Each structure stands twice: as structure tokens, then as C-alpha cells.
Structure 1
Amino acid sequence: MSDMNHSNEDAPPAGTVQQKRNIQIIEWEDLDKRKFYSFGVFITLSIRATVYPATLIRTRLQVQRGKSLYNGTFDAFVKILRAEGVRGLYRGFMVNTFTLISGQAYITTYELVRKYVSKYSDDNTVKSVVAGGLASMVAQSITVPIDVGSQQLMMQGQGEHLSRFRPNAHSEAGKPRRVFGQTRSIVAQIFAADGLPGFYRGALASLLTYIPNSAVWWPFYHFYAEQLSNLAPSGCPHLVLQAMAGPLAAATASTVTNPMDVIRARVQVEGRSSITETFRQLIKEEGFWGMTKGLSARIISSTPTAIVMVVGYESLKKLSLRPELVDSRHW
């Protein structure tokens, strides 16, 4: 939603409606694109604001050594809230909102690739894997520099010892710097230390995390939705089944890709250049359990994200249907 993040938009649209499927798919060509993009931005922003604290907590848990500062997700939440207030849970959020661009890129790429693949295969799993993976690759090319900046801001405050950079605490007039003042300070320090490549630090790790995550999420989403539709009463609304399938798929994808997500966070925050060396050091210091760090926070953040995103995205697509199609099928 990182992308789902980094962007887990539900109910893939492209491709011909398969009569064997219980839950029909609203297709890309069935949508009024102006409505789709206009409503989509507001829905995505609302969702990200809701789950951002869990994302921040996940990042801090993944980067800390052992349990040097936090003992777990709930402990981190309480400590951050007490020491830094609500604003502490939203460090770097304003910078992170720029990932809305990557979210729209993800949606468009997913839909168009799925439509293209449908010309060669009617298999829903094939379309989901290919479109999900390519959509994530496109989105990550935009997201990585934003993530690098926002993650450095996430590490300030109580967890500032975990970051290589420090924003200037005060302006020349002695007044506290505002959000974008700190952002400019961090950006300048990253550029001075690492140059332009510094903003793409961890790009490979991000691709190795989010491409599989997206490729796994979509087919599992459809699988769970279909299985639930077979178990549920015939009159059960599709939206309810999809809302249940979303978090199940998110939990599955998060569990599969969490090891690489831990490595990605450390590479980007600590300024490392080697994925393999980061992996070796993590295993040496914390064992294989270190690969599960932040998993509960990741699932906690991805579960409501998936529910809200699925419901929001499905509702968005129904609202964006071309007028002549509104009553033509049972969506």
C-alpha cells in the first residue's frame, strides 16, 4: 500500500468477466476515468493517514538493535505517544504523501497490464501476478526516493540515534523548524553525503520486497474471495466477501516478504550498500527471528489498509462506472 503500498487496490478490473467466477470484475474500459482518478486521490490519502502510525512503528522496530528501545508494537506505540505525542506518530507523513503519485502510477499500470495480458491468457492468476509485479516495479521507481526521506524523518525524536542524519533543530531566528524545514535539511544532508544515488539507496531491496508482495497479494486476494463466496450464503454482498479477502491476502503477502522488508528498512535508514552483508549481520546479531521484526506491525497496518482499500476501491469503481453500465450487470 509502500506501496499497497504500497497501493493494494482491490478487485482487478481488466480482462473479460469470467463466467466461472462467482465475483465479477469491473473492467478498466467500464470506468469513467475522470471520476476514477478524482475520487481515488482522496480515498488513498485518507487511508494512508489512517495507517501511517503503524508504518512508522514498523520501521522503527525493524531498524532498532534487538529490543534496545521498544519491546514490541504496542510498547512502541505507547512510548512514542508519551514521549513525542501524536505528532511523533506522523513524523515524515507530509513527505510520504507525495507517494500518492506512485499510487496513481500503480493503479494505471496494473489495470493496463492486466488488460494487455488478458489478450494472451484468461487465467486470472497469471494476469494478477504479472500485472501486480509490473505495477509495483513502476511505482517503486517513484516511491524509493520519497521513502528514503520519510524514513529518515521517522527515525527522529525518540529513535534519532538510529538515523545517520539530523534535521537542524532551530532556524536562524531561534524558532523551531517546521516540517518542510526539517525535510529540506534531511534532503540536503542525504545529497551531501551520498549524492543523487543516496535517494535510491535500497532501491534493489525495495524491488525485491514490493514486487513479490504485490505479485503475491493479487492472486491470493482473488483466491480468498472465491473461496469465501463458495462458503457464504448466495445473498451475501460481494463487497463483504472482498473486504474479508483483502486482509487475508495482505497477511499472507506480508509474512512471505517480511524478511526482505527488514533488510530494505536497514539498508535505507542506515545507509548500507550491500543487501547480503546486511542480511549476514542481521542473522549474526539476532538470528533468524530477526527476520520477523516488525511483522506484527506490518500485518496490523496492512489489515485495515486492505479492508479500507478494498471497500474504497470497489466502491470507487462502482461510482466511476459509465452511466449506461450501472444497471447492466450484477457487480
Structure 2
Amino acid sequence: MGRFHSLLLEMMFFSDQANILISHIKMEHLVAGITGGAASTLILHPLDLVKIRFAVNDGLSSRPQYNGLFHAFKSILKDEGVRGLYRGVTPNVWGAGSAWGLYFLFYNSLKTWWQGGDTKMDLGPTRHMAIAAEAGLLTLMFTNPIWVVKTRLCLQYGSTTAPAAVGVPGPLAVVQYRGMVDALVKVWQMEGIRGLYRGFVPGMFGVSHGAIQFMTYEEMKTFYNKYRKQPIDTKLGTSEYLVFAAISKLIAAGSTYPYQVVRARLQDQHRVYSGVMDVIRQTWRGEKFKGFYKGLVPNLVRVVPATAITFVVYEHTSSYLKELRISF
């Protein structure tokens, strides 16, 4: 009887904690995140496509070869037209919108929970990083299949010949997917759940990317508001959000980029690797250290303004929706 009573108390405690966490969930963070992510993705998708093509270019497969960012754009426009620059844009918009929306929702819910509802409480860099890591892992679980599809669509080069053998360098594969839904269905049918979660392990390492970015962003906002002798949750101007978002993204991207190369190569339909360590071994053997940073330049050219746009849209949209909710 005593054991049952103890178990009942534990269940009630966790139920109360869950209810407290749910009470801190504010849907304006989801809506604002989706809006910011979708807006930045629509504007900058061609740079994302070029980054992915650089990242998977191992020098062995018969892929289009690009000498630089300008040459890549010129070649894609010539060979595939304007439409070629927007291959994979649908899952990218869905992926970026849902990822940013879920991330901001999870992050702010966990953050408010840690603060006990007191938005003026300074959590410090360690807690900010831990909260961002938790939010990133939860988001990845929901969005990984969309990123697999986006990568596959971005790597359809318009070739009409099939490879000589699976996993062996050769001519490019036939264009297999007609769009996002077709790709999701075919990956599920041919590769199962494992196919939809290719790149999940390096994606987990990539959680550190978001953790570093959000920790840096939050600490800069906190420091700036303290410097101005304002409460740490004081709303800033567009220029401040732009600068802080850009700096935090530069720091995070520069320190964690190799995982994106590993992830893209695992999701690439033109090559087959046995796992993360196989990608790392083959990349190091063929391309050394430089191979892990392929596509970094187009990535930075894309992600820095993309993040700045996303955060500015998010901050202003969430503030507007919060004021709207309070007014009602």
C-alpha cells in the first residue's frame, strides 16, 4: 500500500510539472517562427541548394563541377533554368518553417518554465545552452524526414542516365522524385523509416549548432539590455536584432559546419555510406580537412542573412501576437 501511495505521489508530481510546462506554451512563438523561417527560406533558397551541391561534391562521382559561387549559379541557370535554382524549395519551406516554429515554441516554453514565468530572470549561458539543445533535439525528431527529402530534391541534376552500381562513382541517377510528397512516399516505400531518418545522428551533433547560436544570441541581448540598464526582456530595435542574430549565426556556423557536410552526404541518393564513421573516413581519405568545409562560403552567404531575417520577423511577429493576445 505504501509503495502504491509513493507511486501515486510521483505520478501526481510529474503530472503537475507537465501541466506547468504546458501552461507556458504560447502559440505565438510557433506562428512567429514559422513566418520567419518560411520568409527567409523563400528569399534565399538558391544559396541553400548550391551549398548542398558543394557539400556532397566528393570529387569522385560524375556530378556537375563548380569553380565557385558565381560559376555554380551560372551553370545551374544554363543547364536547368531558373527552376533548377528552386529544386527542393517546397520541403525547404516546410522544413525551415516547421523547424523554426517548433524550435522557438520548444525553446521559449522550456525557457519560461525554467524562469518560473518571470521573463526578467537571467538564466545565464549554461542554462540557455541546455535549453537550446533540448529544443533542437525535439525539433530534429519531427523534421528530419523533411530535410532528407529536401536534400534528395536539391541533388536532382536533370541527368537522364543511371549509375553503373549502387555506391560506385559513375553517371548520375535518373531524376526519381516529382516533388515533396512523391519523395516522401518513395523514400518510405524503398528505404523505410531508416531512409527518412538518414543523417539523424550527425543532426544530433548539429544540435550543438543551435545551442551555441541561441546561447550567444540570448547572452548578447541580456548584456546589451543590462548595459542600457533595462530589464533583460526589453524589446530591441530591428538593427539590434539583425546584428545579434548575424553574429550568433557566424559563431555557430563556423564552429559546427562539418556535421552539415556529413549529414548531406548521408542523405545523398547518389552515394551509399555504411554510417557516419564511413562518411568521415572516406571524406578524410579523399579530401582531408578541406572536405569537411565544402560549401562553407555559400552556406555563410545564405545562413547569416537568413537567420537575421528569421529572427527579426520572429521577434516582431511574436511581440505583435503577444500584445494581441493580452488585449483580448
TM-score (norm 1): 0.74
Residue 187 to residue 179, structure 1, CA distance change in 2 (3 Å): closer
Aligned to 1:130: 130
Aligned to 2:238: 239
Q: Deviations over 1:136-173 (max 9, x none)?
A: 1111112211111121111112578799864458xxxx
Aligned to 2:255: 256
Aligned to 1:299: 300
Amino acid at match of 1:51: L
SS at match of 1:195: helix
- Out of 57, 60, 70, the position equivalent to 2:66 is 70
Distance 2:156 2:89 in 1: 13
- Out of 25, 38, 49, the position equivalent to 1:45 is 38
Aligned to 1:290: 291
Amino acid at match of 2:142: I
Distance 1:187 1:243 in 2: 35
Aligned to 2:150: 150
Distance 1:219 1:36 in 2: 18
Q: Does 1:95 find its partner at 2:96?
A: no
SS at match of 1:292: coil
Decide whether the 8 Å contact of 1:58 with 1:295 is kept in 2. yes
Aligned to 1:281: 282
Distance 2:90 2:84 in 1: 13
Indicate the larger mover: 212-221 or 59-68.
59-68
SS at match of 1:252: helix
Distance 1:43 1:273 in 2: 36
Q: CA deviation at 1:43?
A: 3.6
Residue 273 to residue 141, structure 1, CA distance change in 2 (3 Å): farther
Decide whether the 8 Å contact of 1:118 with 1:127 is kept in 2. no
Decide whether the 8 Å contact of 2:30 with 2:102 is kept in 1. no
Residue identity over aligned pairs, in percent, reads 23
TM-score (norm 2): 0.75
Amino acid at match of 2:92: N
Q: Does 1:320 find its partner at 2:328?
A: no
- Out of 49, 69, 78, the position equivalent to 1:56 is 49
Q: CA deviation at 1:73?
A: 2.5
Q: Deviations over 1:60-89 (max 9, x none)?
A: 100012496112223212211222122111
Aligned to 1:212: 208
Residue 93 to residue 34, structure 1, CA distance change in 2 (3 Å): same
Q: Deviations over 1:34-54 (max 9, x none)?
A: 655555534432221112111
Q: CA deviation at 1:258?
A: 0.7
Decide whether the 8 Å contact of 1:92 with 1:153 is kept in 2. yes
Q: CA deviation at 1:191?
A: 3.5
Decide whether the 8 Å contact of 1:51 with 1:301 is kept in 2. yes
Aligned to 1:191: 188
Decide whether the 8 Å contact of 1:113 with 1:131 is kept in 2. yes
Distance 2:317 2:127 in 1: 22
Distance 2:218 2:36 in 1: 22
Q: Deviations over 1:232-266 (max 9, x none)?
A: 9x9xx643122111111111101111111111111
Amino acid at match of 1:219: M
Q: CA deviation at 1:187?
A: 3.9
Larger radius of gyration: 2
Distance 2:90 2:210 in 1: 24
Amino acid at match of 1:179: G
Indicate the larger mover: 123-132 or 139-148.
123-132
Indicate the larger mover: 119-128 or 260-269.
119-128
Residue 108 to residue 188, structure 1, CA distance change in 2 (3 Å): closer
Residue 191 to residue 145, structure 1, CA distance change in 2 (3 Å): same
Distance 2:45 2:153 in 1: 13
Q: CA deviation at 1:30?
A: 10
Decide whether the 8 Å contact of 1:140 with 1:206 is kept in 2. yes
Residue 159 to residue 150, structure 1, CA distance change in 2 (3 Å): farther
Q: CA deviation at 1:217?
A: 0.1
Indicate the larger mover: 89-98 or 62-71.
62-71
Distance 2:325 2:294 in 1: 50
Aligned to 2:267: 268
Count of paired positions? 284
Q: CA deviation at 1:129?
A: 0.5
> What RMSD over aligned residues (CA atoms) do the two structures have, in Å?
3.4
SS at match of 2:273: coil
Distance 1:30 1:279 in 2: 41
Indicate the larger mover: 277-286 or 158-167.
158-167
Residue 324 to residue 149, structure 1, CA distance change in 2 (3 Å): closer
